[in-house]
Structures are given as C-alpha cells and as structure tokens.
Amino acid sequence: MIQTPYYLIDKARLLPNMEKIARLREASGAKALLALKCFSTWPVFDFMRDYMDGTTSSSLYELRLGAEKFGKETHAYSVGWADHEIDEAVSYADKIIFNSLGQLDRFGDKAKGIATGLRLNPRFSTSGFDLADPARPFSRLGEWDMARLEMASDRINGVMIHYNCENDDFVLFSEQLSRIERDFGSFLKTLNWVSLGGGIHFTGEGYPLDKLADRLKAFSDAMGVQVYLEPGEASITKSTSLEVSVLDIIDNGKKVAIVDSSIEAHMLDLLIYRETAKLPQNGTHEYQIAGKTCLAGDIFGDAKFDKELKIGDRISIDDAAGYTMVKKNWFNGVKMPGIAIRELDGTVKLVRDFGYEDFVAALG
C-alpha cells in the first residue's frame, strides 16, 4: 500500500468530466482550455488532452508547463507581466491576454505575431465570496470602460471575460451573458474570439448541458466569434481523493481523529473560504477529522462511519483535486502528500512523492 498522505486521481472518475467537455465542444463549437491555476498535475495531461483544446494560464510558469506538458493551444494571461518575462511568455503563447490597457501599451509590440487580447471586466459576477469576486469595488482585474476598450480595438482580436464562480445555475449564466451582449456586444462583434473564462459548473450532476451548448452557439453566431471556455473545477470535479491515516483519537467531549495531513497545508481553500471537506457520512460513529499541525483550526470537518475508528485506519477525503495540489505547502514541515493515479484498469501507481530533500530545497 502507498504510504499516506497522498492525492489519488482516479481516471475512471475523471473520464465522465472529459466526456461532457467533449460533448459540449462538439455541440456548441466552443473550445475548452484547462485552467492550470486550478489543476496543474501534468501526469494526467496525456489522458485529458484528447478531450480538450489546450491550456490557459495565470503566470509564466503555468504557461510554460501547459506548452511543454499539455501541448495544443496555449492562452497566456497574467495580472501583471514583468519586463523580464514578456519575451519568454510570447515564445510559449498562441494567445496573450493583457489585464489592462497599460500592460497592452507597454508590451503590445512584443506580442506582435501572435493573437493578442485584453481582459474585459463586466462589473458583475456570480461569486459569493468577496475574496474571489472579480467585480468587487475597485477591482484590478480587467478593463470595463468602453472608451478604454475602444482605445485597444486596433491592437487586439479577442477578450477574456471571467465572471463565473462555481455557477451551477444555467438560467443565471444565460441572463448574465445577455447583459454582456447588451453592454458590450457592439465591441465584441469587432473581435475574432471571446473567452468566457471558467467557473461554469457544467459537469455537475443534472446540469442542462444541451441548453448550455445552444446558448454558447447562439452567442458565438450573434457576435461572430470563436468562443472559449476555461474549465478548472469542472474538468476535475469528483475525480480525486486525499487519502489519509488516523494517527490518534482524542475524546474531549467529542471524538477527534487526528490524521497525517493538514487542511492548511493540503486543502488550503477550505480554510480560506471556511468550508468543510467532503468526508464519509455513513454510519452512527461520529468523529471530527483534524489535521496534525499546530494550528488550532486545522480541522477538515465532521464525519460518520459505520464502525469505530482505530489508529492506522485510512480515510478518503473526496473531491480533493481543485486548488489543492497547486496550493500545497510546507507549513509545520508536514510531509506533502504524494500523487498517485488509478488507471482505468484499476491499477494504482505513485507518480510523485515528496521528502525531506524537497522541504530543504524549497527554503534555501
């Protein structure tokens, strides 16, 4: 058995997401780019690339990773490109997207020869968290003023509009896309491509995929543009678990199982957004599952099991792919989880492990 903790990517659970993406691409004409900011675990890129059109990135390193490990089309976005990055970025990119008119003014000449775009901020979003809301007051993410957009019109041929966040409501998506058509349609019709970003939870159970395909095709036809989507969570939702082991059980009025992992170090977004992990909920034996760091709030959440836990028992924490492996860290020097893949035939292989040498190398 592989030593815990480790992330286990199950291709049989990843495949349905890929098939839905392929179906949406076929029916709508939209292209789908994997959002590397959410998931960059390249040992499964060879499996995913048959169903997707390429990658979209938020930094130079993500861009290079997409170009080298995924291949196909590469979209290069950054909130701020640096002088020492821009030439290398252009060398890897099929399309480069600038966050502001100022960045376009500064680096536009460097990007001649590849497709160039600008981030458009529609000033609304579906985010329920201020921390993640690109339309928050004084947002630095993209241009919204039509006069400034028109100043870029002869230098760009596309825009990226990222305004959805875990949006599983098709009606809301369609209504907000209608607002974009109304507010920016005349400008969009002068372009060749429009990326609608990520955050559309179209691989979720019961999502009306055919309606989404029809809506995207109608938008594409009306604007005369190639539509792109940037699925992150939608690509890998429910595909991966974090496998952990029980190290200790404490009864302080509530039974607490301490495991060989950490929410802060290994599932950081749950701590940031004050959410609980997807833990087993079958049975009558209740435990709080807690991490092993010194942070008092290092708690995954409450779970239920069909029998009492014992030291050494293993627990699977579900839906552990998005924003986990890209954010794992060395807090408390806790061993980073390895990365394992379960193939379609059921065999499991460990593709990456981390040890003391990695800890030392990260810090000096």
The two beta strands, 255-259 and 338-342, are: unpaired
Supply the pLDDT for residue 128. 85
CATH fold of 11-235 reads TIM Barrel (3.20.20)
Task: Enumerate residues 6+ apart whose C-beta is below 8 A from 207.
Answer: 168, 170, 201
CATH fold of 240-320+328-362 reads Lyase, Ornithine Decarboxylase; Chain A, domain 1 (2.40.37)
Do 231 and 237 meet the contact criterion of CB atoms below 8 Å apart?
no
**pLDDT tens-place string over residues 262-313:** 999 999 999 999 999 999 999 999 999 999 999 999 999 999 999 999 999 9
Do 155 and 190 meet the contact criterion of CB atoms below 8 Å apart?
no
Q: Is 230 annotated as a binding residue?
A: no
Do 220 and 30 meet the contact criterion of CB atoms below 8 Å apart?
yes
Centroid of chain to Cα 7: 16
Distance CA 124, CA 179 (A): 10
**pLDDT tens-place string over residues 187-243:** 999 999 999 999 999 999 999 999 999 999 999 999 999 999 999 999 999 999 999
- Indicate whether this model's pTM tops 0.75: yes
Q: Which residue has the tokens 């599932």?
A: 267
Q: Is 133 annotated as a binding residue?
A: no
| Cis peptide, bond prior to residue 5, ω within 30 of zero | yes
Regions in the chain scoring below 70 on pLDDT: none
Supply the pLDDT for residue 209. 98
Distance CA 234, CA 218 (A): 22
Supply the pLDDT for residue 146. 94
Which residue ranges does the chain devote to CATH 3.20.20.10?
A: 11-235
